[in-house]
């Protein structure tokens, strides 16, 4: 929960500090970096997944072509 501590002086408002739930700036820096790494890692992992799927399809196509080629060669001989 974020709480803004404000002070009133001469009919103007100024924000003194933002209460971050008892955690210091170093902790929030670590948390944000960790969250950023996980967020970017999600896209990298998805990219690897798509690449692996394409390689599997390519290998399946090559295996099918080899099988058809062997069948044709056996019919010709």
Query: What are the residue boundaries of the structural domains of the chain, listed by start?
Result: 3-76
pLDDT, one tens digit per residue, over 40-60 is: 999 999 999 999 999 999 999
Please report which confidence band the pLDDT of residue 21 belongs to, taking 50, 70 and 90 as the band edges. low
Give the helix/strand (H/E) hosting 1.
none
For the chain, the farthest-separated pair of C-alpha atoms sits apart, in whole angstroms, at: 102
- pTM value? 0.55
Residue 17 β-bridge partners: 5
């Amino acid at each position: 929960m974020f709480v803004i501590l404000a002070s009133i002086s001469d009919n103007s408002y100024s924000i003194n500090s933002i209460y971050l739930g008892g955690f210091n700036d170093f902790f929030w820096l670590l948390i944000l970096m960790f969250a950023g790494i996980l967020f970017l890692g999600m896209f990298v992992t998805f990219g690897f997944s798509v690449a692996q799927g394409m390689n599997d399809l390519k290998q399946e196509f090559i295996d099918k072509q080899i099988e058809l080629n062997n069948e044709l060669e056996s019919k010709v001989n």
